[in-house]
Amino acid sequence: MRWRGQQCVRAVAIALGLGLAAAPVRTSGQDKGHVVSLDELSKDAARPAQSRQANEAAVLELLSSDAGQQALKSAKVDYQRVDKAIGQLSDEDLAKVADRSRQAESDFAAGGFKSTLIIAIVLIVVLIVVLSLVF
- Integer CA distances (angstroms), 98 to 1, 14, 51, 90, 112, in order: 84, 68, 11, 12, 19
Contact 79, 72 (CB under 8 A): yes
Residue 93 domain-assigned (yes or no): yes
Residue 14 lies in a domain: no
pLDDT score recorded for residue 8? 61
| Structure confidence at residue 85 (pLDDT) | 83
Q: Is residue 63 a part of any domain in this protein?
A: yes
Question: Is 33 within the bounds of a domain?
Answer: no
How many domains are contained in the chain?
A: 1
Per-residue confidence (pLDDT) for residue 112, from 0 to 100: 66
In tens digits, what is the pLDDT along the chain, a chain of 135 residues?
A: 455 656 666 766 676 666 655 556 555 555 456 687 888 877 778 888 899 999 999 988 888 888 788 888 888 888 888 888 888 888 998 898 888 888 888 877 777 666 677 777 777 777 777 776 666
Residue 74 in domain: yes
Look at residue 56 in the predicted model and tell me its pLDDT.
92
Q: Which residue from 121, 61, 52, 122 is spatially nearest to 87, judged by alpha carbons?
A: 52
CA geometry: angle 75, 79, 81, nearest 5 deg: 100
Domain assignment of residue 84, given as a range: 51-135
Domain contains 107: yes
Secondary structure (H, E, C), the chain? CHHHHHHHHHHHHHHHHHHHHHCCCCCCCCCHHHCCCHHHHHHHHHHHHHHHHHHHHHHHHHHHCHHHHHHHHHCCCCHHHHHHHHHHCCHHHHHHHHHHHHHHHHHHHCCCCCHHHHHHHHHHHHHHHHHHHHC
